[in-house]
Amino acid sequence: MKNKNASRRKFLKLGLAAGASALIGGGSVLSAISKVNKPAGGDKVKMLSPEGKLMEVDRGHALCCGVPTSKEVRKGIPGRHFVMVIDLSKCRNARKCVSACSKMHFLQPGQEYIKVFLMQDSEDTSPYWFPKPCFHCDAPACVNVCPVGATFKREDGVVLIDNERCIGCKFCMAACPYSSRVFNWKKPGLKPEANYSPESSVPQKIGTVGKCDFCPDSFVSGILPDCVTACPNGVYYFGDKNEDVVTNGVEALRFSELVKNKSAYRYMEELGTRPSVYYLPPVDRSFPYERGFEELPEEMKKAYKVKRAHLKKFKI
Amino acid sequence: MSQQEIAQQKLVEIFAHFGKPSKFSKGLFIFLILIVLFAFYALILQMTRGQIVTGMRDYVIWGIYEVNFIFFIGISYAGAMISGILHLLHVEWRKPIIRIAEMITVISVLIGPLYVLLSMGRMDRFLHIFEYGRIQSPIVWDVIAITTYLTCSILFLYLALIRDYALLRDNQELKISSFRKKIYRKLAVTYHELPLQKKLLNRGLSVMSAIIIPLAVLVHSVLAWIFGMTIRPGWHSTIFAPYFVIAAVFSGTAVLIIAMWIFRKYYHLEEYITEKHFKYIGLILLVLAGLYGYFTFSEYLTVWYGSETWELEVIYKLFDFSDYGAWFYLAAFAGVLIPMLFTGIPFFRNINTITIGAVIAVVCMWIKRYLIIVPTLETPLLPNQDYRPEYVHYHASWVEWSLTAGGVALFFLFFMIFIRFMPIIPVADISEVPENKEFISEKL
Ligand code: SF4
Ligand code: SF4
């Protein structure tokens, strides 16, 4: 344990050095890690400003920073390539990522930017939980098909939607093979006082599309995406591929080594979408998958079961 | 009698039926208006409350609006393909039915795209397509293709009408209001049946019919590519474009037959639209049904035999009676075989059975398009584990149904308005001495 901690610190240092050199446009991944003390349900959060000052701000994306110009938003943070690594062996469907994300983005009830699926690759293998945000693909099918360029890929790898331009044709939803997008079928219930920016996706706009945005607005001020900090099991690692660091808020790891050592894979790579989200296989699990049902309401449990019955029927 | 005089006489005869709207058509008109008004109410509801009032949800993002869109664009093939091809080939018997076909084209291309607007979350931002349009997107291809297609089919219809407008303008016997006379005068431009004018007009028509055929093929191919370009089972197919084109000609021809039947019956055009027309068009329908069946078979056979799991999931939904099975067999078998039976076997073949076959074909084609869109969307790559039933299965809401009914009503309404201003039979054309007499009288 001691050793592990030591090695972590080493990573931290490593990352800091790398981070310092890449400190353009917002804090580095490692300055984000300083926000280890998770808010205990409070609405305030401690964060480290890019200048290194500790401050306390309100949670919620609507309340952060000034709104960047549309050109800046479309360009992204230069020199970065944001990635996420999701460790399937630690997920027990706690759904804290889902609720934190929904809260921070002021989503309508029932809307989820992150969905947690119950997967079973074949009849003989064990089921496992599969949290899935938008993959921020490097060859995004959604961006290709958008008739008005409302959904776009930035230099830093993030795929965003400009809800002020989106015409609601939903072609991107048809094109995305991973069902990552949700539609605002009705007027958003919560209307936070905020100037809209594609970086925050807040406030939502009726008749347009939404999805996980990798929280670039938080990142500019050095905060990790909410799903990362909300997860009690440290499933999500967020970071920068160029900087070669990812962190789950507790530990910071070398991205390249993590994906190599743990045989990370990208879901359905064969579709050619080149996701920015990597999965660590569900081996040596921290929890039996049944744990995931414990806190679920009855109707959700049923929905998960239906699919497995379905799988049997088709002898997959 | 000179040719001109014959034409004038025929014009008077035909127009006699259209002069004063009967009680029935007045009632029908009001009825249709009511349906359209109700659809308008539904539209306002959708615009104010959002698409939550439809049955569409995050997985099934397109519903019967898209079905109707494909359906109407498909119907438009009546004019584009049938009348275009018959025109190019100088098929003499086409003349009495060509106008009906072209009207179907123009009207359905006017109505079809409305459904794209309806399925858009933000109709109010439609102009963004022109402001920010990206040529990489198949939707932009579609917008370009359809606007060109609409322009060309209106031009095609209008060019063919000029001679008739000239006749109407010069006619002394018909009692038409001076207002209408004025319109006819404007529309007839300065056409006076001069040899040069006639030659140019004919050339124009030939050019238009040559343009409209590839254009129609393109429009439906682009439409098919909207689906074909996505990585989804049941859509991501290389034969999708030709499949859609054949399906479109098939349904367009069927609608033409139905329209012929209605006009013949209610406007007493038995003299012009004869059983022979039904038989000839019926034969075209027969060939198309065969082709369409072949495409269907080939599409599903390869997918089923290949048995890729994601594809199979959709296929089984279609084959399974507890899912879409009944609809699928109806659309894929009854919708093809019954029309073939009625058009192909002389024993069954008469005006009424051919029309019944056409009705079955049209209805089944609508269902088939539903089966192309909805089951695929209900089968995402990652399992749909939503606990809300409406997010798992799509059921069109009353809003969508009333807007569908509104579109159909609008189709008939447009027709009723069109025939008041355009001779439904191309008078000038049919009073010409046939270029190829024996072809007309040939026994089938
Ligand atoms: S996961 Fe879907 S929505 Fe996200 S970038 Fe890829 S294609 Fe686009
Ligand atoms: S729904 Fe919006 S973001 Fe998606 S393709 Fe259409 S315009 Fe683009």
DSSP state string for chain A: -HHHHHHHHHHHHHHHHHHHHT--SS--HHHHHTTTS--SS-SEEEEE-TTS-EEEEE-SGGGSSPPPPHHHHHH-STT--EEEEEEGGG-----HHHHHHHHHTTPPTT--SSEEEEE-SSTTSPPEEEEE-----SS-HHHHH-SSS-EEE-TTS-EEE-TTT-----HHHHH-TT---EE--S--S---S---BTTTTBS--TTSEE-----HHHHHTTPPPHHHHH-TT--EEEEETTTTEEE-SS-EEEHHHHHHHTT-B-TTGGGS---SEEEE---S-SS-GGGGGTT--HHHHHHHHHHHHHHHHTT-
Judge whether residue A293 has pLDDT over 70.
yes
> What does the domain layout of chain B look like in residue ranges?
3-431
Length reported for chain A:
316
Q: What angle is formed at CA B23 by the lines to CA B17 and CA B362, rounded to 5 degrees?
A: 75
How far is CA A278 from each of CA A129, A136, A262, A297, rounded to the nearest angstrom?
15, 11, 11, 29
Judge whether residue A55 has pLDDT over 70.
no
> Residue A183 and residue A179: Cα distance in Å, rounded?
11
B422 token code pair: 């355009």
Judge whether residue A35 has pLDDT over 60.
no
Chain B residues whose CB is inside 8 A of the A181 CB are: 58
Mean pLDDT, chain A, whole residue set: 80
- A180 or A307, which is more confident: A180
A126 token code pair: 């064990």
> What digits encode the pLDDT tens for the residues A210-258?
999 999 888 887 889 999 999 999 999 999 999 999 999 999 999 999 9
Contact A255, A83 (CB under 8 A): yes
Lowest mean pLDDT of A13-22, B30-39, B291-300, name the range. A13-22
pLDDT at site A34: 45
Among residues A24, A87, A111, the alpha carbon closest in space to that of A228 is found at A87
**Eight-class DSSP state of B347:** G
Residues within 8 A of B (CB atoms), A 102-161 only? 110, 115, 117-119, 130, 132, 141, 144-150
> What digits encode the pLDDT tens for the residues A145-179?
999 999 999 999 999 999 999 999 999 999 999 99
> What digits encode the pLDDT tens for the residues B54-69?
999 999 999 999 999 9
Chain B residues whose CB is inside 8 A of the A119 CB are: 382-383
> What crossing angle do the helices spanning B398-421 and B23-49 adopt, rounded to 10°?
140
Judge whether residue B14 has pLDDT over 80.
no
Atom number of ligand 1 nearest to Cα A141: 7
Of B128, B136, B381, the CB nearest to A144: B136
The residues pairing with A239 across neighbouring beta strands, listed in sequence order, are: A83, A246
Q: SS3 of B156, please?
A: helix
Residues within 8 A of A (CB atoms), B 140-159 only? 140, 143
Task: Calculate what percentage of chain B has a pLDDT beyond 70.
Answer: 94
Contacting residues for B45 by C-beta, under 8 A, at least 6 apart: B53, B399
- A215 or A15, which is more confident: A215
Give the best residue of A118, A148, A266 to mutate against chain B (max B CB count within 10 A).
A148
Q: Is there a contact between B122 and A304 if contact means CB atoms under 8 Å apart?
A: no
Residue A303 Cβ contacting ligand 2 at under 6 Å: no
Q: Rounded to a whole number, what is the largest CA-CA distance in chain B? A: 77
Among residues B157, B67, B146, the alpha carbon closest in space to that of B103 is found at B157
The neighbour count for residue A108, using CB atoms within 10 Å, is: 18
Among residues A221, A200, A252, the alpha carbon closest in space to that of A55 is found at A221
pLDDT level of residue A143 (50, 70, 90 thresholds): very high
pLDDT level of residue A59 (50, 70, 90 thresholds): low
Q: Dihedral through CA A8, CA A10, CA A14, CA A16, nearest 10?
A: 70
Lowest mean pLDDT of A29-33, B1-5, B430-434, name the range. A29-33
> What digits encode the pLDDT tens for the residues B337-390?
999 999 999 998 999 999 999 999 999 999 999 999 999 999 998 988 999 999
The dihedral built from the CA positions of residue A91, A96, A99 and A104, taken in this order, carries a sign that is: negative
Residues within 8 A of B (CB atoms), A 161-180 only? 165-171, 173-175, 177-179
Atom number of ligand 2 nearest to Cα A142: 5
Task: Calculate what percentage of chain B has a pLDDT beyond 90.
Answer: 63
Residue with tokens 């591929």: A241
A161 token code pair: 């939607």
> What digits encode the pLDDT tens for the residues B218-262?
999 999 999 998 989 999 999 999 999 999 999 999 999 999 999
Contact A151, A142 (CB under 8 A): yes
pLDDT at site A195: 79
Domain B3-431 CATH assignment equals 2.60.40.10 = no
Residue A173 Cβ contacting ligand 1 at under 6 Å: no
B137 token code pair: 């997107």
Contacting residues for B356 by C-beta, under 8 A, at least 6 apart: B342
Mean pLDDT to the nearest integer, A125-130: 91
pLDDT at site B365: 96
* CA atoms in the 13 A half-sphere facing the CB of A80: 31
Residue A85 Cβ contacting ligand 2 at under 6 Å: no
Q: SS3 of B141, please?
A: helix
Give the best residue of B43, B60, B69, B128 to mutate against chain A (max A CB count within 10 A).
B128
Closest residue by Cα to atom 4, ligand 1, is A134
How far is CA B239 from each of CA A152, B136, B260, B294, rounded to the nearest angstrom?
30, 21, 32, 12
Give the best residue of B61, B142, B226 to mutate against chain A (max A CB count within 10 A).
B61
The residues pairing with A83 across neighbouring beta strands, listed in sequence order, are: A239
Mean pLDDT to the nearest integer, B303-331: 90
> What digits encode the pLDDT tens for the residues B25-49?
899 999 999 999 999 999 999 999 9
Residue A141 Cβ contacting ligand 1 at under 6 Å: yes
Q: Is there a contact between B232 and A174 if contact means CB atoms under 8 Å apart?
A: yes
pLDDT at site B407: 97
Residue A90 Cβ contacting ligand 1 at under 6 Å: no
Chain B residues whose CB is inside 8 A of the A173 CB are: 58, 61
Residues within 8 A of A (CB atoms), B 191-230 only? 226-227, 229-230
Give the best residue of A137, A145, A187, A312 to mutate against chain B (max B CB count within 10 A).
A145
pLDDT level of residue A36 (50, 70, 90 thresholds): very low
DSSP H/E element including B154:
helix B138-170
Judge whether residue B434 has pLDDT over 70.
no
Residue A141 Cβ contacting ligand 2 at under 6 Å: no
Of A148, A173, A314, the CB nearest to B133: A148
Q: Which of the residue ranges B16-25, B79-88, B329-338 has the most confident prediction, judged by mean pLDDT?
A: B329-338
Distance of residue B227 Cα from the nearest chain A Cα, in angstroms: 8
> Residue A247 and residue A31: Cα distance in Å, rounded?
11
Pairing of the two strands A115-119 and A44-48: unpaired
Tell me if the pTM is above 0.95: no
Chain A residues whose CB is inside 8 A of the B385 CB are: 115, 117-118, 303-304, 306-307
B146 token code pair: 């359809």
Contact A54, A186 (CB under 8 A): no
Among residues A311, A214, A299, A265, the alpha carbon closest in space to that of B382 is found at A311
Chain B residues whose CB is inside 8 A of the A271 CB are: 231
Judge whether residue A19 has pLDDT over 60.
no
How many Å separate Cα B342 from the centre of its chain? 21
Residue A301 class from Cβ within 10 Å (0-12 exposed, 13-18 middle, 19+ buried)?
Answer: middle
pLDDT at site A71: 81
Q: Is there a contact between A304 and B51 if contact means CB atoms under 8 Å apart?
A: no
pLDDT at site A20: 35
pLDDT at site A288: 92
- Cα(B144) to centroid(ligand 2), Å: 18
Mean pLDDT to the nearest integer, A1-29: 40
> What digits encode the pLDDT tens for the residues A95-117?
999 999 999 898 988 899 999 99
ipTM of the complex: 0.90
Mean pLDDT, chain B, whole residue set: 89
Chain B residues whose CB is inside 8 A of the A310 CB are: 383
> What crossing angle do the helices spanning B275-306 and B309-319 adopt, rounded to 10°?
140
